[in-house]
Amino acid sequence: MTETEHGELTYDSSSGSQFRHVKIDAAVLRSASGPFEIEVLDLPAPRADEALVRIVGVGLCHTDLLPRGGGPLATPPIVVGHEAAGVVEWVGSDVSTVRPGDHVVASFSSCSSCLNCQSGHPAYCDEFFLLNLVGAPAGSVLGTDSAGQPVSTRWFGQSSFATHAVVNARSLIAVDRSLPLELLGPLGCGILTGASSVLNALHVEPGSSFAVIGTGTVGLSAIMAAQIVGADRVIAVDLHQTRLDLARELGAGDVIVADPDRLAEQLRDIAPGGLQTILDTTGVPSVISAAVDALRLTGTCGLVGVQRGSLKLHSTALSVGRTITGILVGDAVPSQTIPQLLDYWQQGLFPFDRLITQYPLSQLNEAERDMATGQVIKPVLLPGTGSHR
C-alpha cells in the first residue's frame, strides 16, 4: 500500500487497480456552535454503485446548517455540503451512467425503488430524510480523521465541503465539459428547488399571477422561472430593498417591502382579485397565513423550507377552494430539470450566476457569516482555490 498526496488514491497492491481510500481535505463541523475546520480525512473507496468526485465548486445552503440546531438527525462531527459540481475520478463496478473524466452536478439521494421514485417523484422518496439528512445512514461507511475516529461523510449522500466526495451514481447528472463547473453546484438543490417549484410542483401557467415571499436563492430562482413560463404578474416580497431591486432585474414586475401586520393587504393592493399562486420561502407561520388570505378562491400556496411553528388559518381559508402544498426540492427529477435549466441559462433566460459569490473552502466560516447577514445570496465554495473572488 502506498500513501499519496491529499486528493490522490491509496492503493492496495494485492487488489490490482482497486484503491482502498482517498485522503482528502474537508471542512469538519465538530460541535453545533463551533466553526468549520479544515482537516485531513480518509474517505473510503466507492462501493459498486458509487463514484468518487473531485469537487470543483459547492454551494452553501441554509440546510447545511441544520446540524447546528441540535436536532435528532445529523450531529457533529460531520462534513456537510450538498450542492456540488465536480469531475468523476473513479466509479464502482456497477456504474454505467457516468465514467471517469465526466463533469457532473450532484443532487439529492433517493432510493429509486419506492412508489414515489418509480412514479417520477424522487424528491418525495420514502427514504428521503434517512438518505439525505442523517449524514450517516445505516450501513454507510464513514470517513475517519487523523486519530482514526469516524466523521459523518454522507450528508445528502455527498458531504461535499471537501476536495472529494463519494456519491451514489444515481445522484450524478453529467453536464457538458465546456460549462463552468465552479458555478454549477447550486443547481443541485437551492436553484433547482426554486425553479422547479414553478415549473413542476406548482405548474405556474402563462398569463397567471404569481408571488414569491422571500428573495434568497430559492425565491429569486422561482422569479426567473416564472418569467420563463410567461406569468403575467410576478410579485417579489422581502424585507430588504437591495434584494427586491435584484428581484426586479430578474423578472419581478412588482416588489413589496413586507409589512408583517398587513402583508395580505399589500398583496391584494396589487392583485385585488387575489393571486393564483404564491411560493413562501420563509417558513414563518404568520406570513404563510397572510399568503393564503391573498390567494384567489382557486389559488395555491406552496411552502418550501422548514416551518417555524404551528400554522393557524381562518376557519374558511381552505373551504373556498384554496390549496396549501408542501414542496421538497421543487418535486424535481434532477436528471431532467438540471439540463433544462442549463439550456435556459445558455439562452440567457436564467441568469442564476448573478446570485453567486465565490469563496475558497478555507473561508467557509466567512461565507456562512455573509449569508446570515444577507451580504451575499448564494456562497459557492471552491476547494481548489486559496483566495476570495
Does pLDDT of 145 surpass 50?
Answer: yes
Confidence of residue 19 (pLDDT cuts 50, 70, 90): low
Q: Rounded to the nearest 5 degrees, what angle is found at the Cα of 39, between the Cα atoms of 37 and 41?
A: 140
- Residues of 310-343 as b/e, b for ≥16 C-beta within 10 angstroms? eeeeeeeeeeeebebeebbbbbbbbbebbbbbbe
Q: Please state the rounded mean pLDDT for residues 49-56.
A: 96
- For the chain, first and last CA: distance in Å? 39
Closest CA to 112 of 337, 338, 333, 340: 333
Q: What is the pLDDT of residues 342-378, one digit of tens each?
A: 999 999 999 999 999 999 999 999 999 999 999 999 9
**Residue ranges of the chain that CATH labels 3.40.50.720:** 194-329
pLDDT for the residue 101: 97
Does pLDDT of 147 surpass 90?
Answer: yes
Confidence of residue 18 (pLDDT cuts 50, 70, 90): low
pLDDT for the residue 307: 85
Confidence of residue 10 (pLDDT cuts 50, 70, 90): low
- Residues of 100-113 as b/e, b for ≥16 C-beta within 10 angstroms? eebbbbbbbbbbee
Q: Which helix (DSSP H) or strand (DSSP E) does residue 227 occupy? A: helix 217-229
Average pLDDT score over the chain: 92
3-state helix, strand, coil in the chain (%, to 5): 30, 30, 40
pLDDT for the residue 387: 38
Euclidean distance between CA atoms 107 and 172, whole angstroms: 7
* Residue listed under C-alpha cell 460531520: 78
Confidence of residue 99 (pLDDT cuts 50, 70, 90): very high
- Just give the CATH number of 9-188+351-382: 3.90.180.10
- Just give the CATH number of 194-329: 3.40.50.720
pLDDT for the residue 3: 38
Q: What is the pLDDT of residues 242-270, one digit of tens each?
A: 999 999 999 999 999 999 899 999 999 99
**DSSP-assigned states of every residue in 316-376:** TTTTTS-EEEE-SGGG--HHHHHHHHHHHHHTTS--GGGGEEEEEGGGHHHHHHHHHTTS-
Q: Which helix (DSSP H) or strand (DSSP E) does residue 267 occupy? A: helix 263-270
Does pLDDT of 15 surpass 70?
Answer: no
Q: What is the pLDDT of residues 66-95, one digit of tens each?
A: 999 876 678 899 999 999 999 999 999 999
The one-character DSSP state at 315 is T
**DSSP-assigned states of every residue in 149-181:** -EEB-BGGGT--SBSEEEEEGGGEEEE-TTS-H
Confidence of residue 384 (pLDDT cuts 50, 70, 90): confident
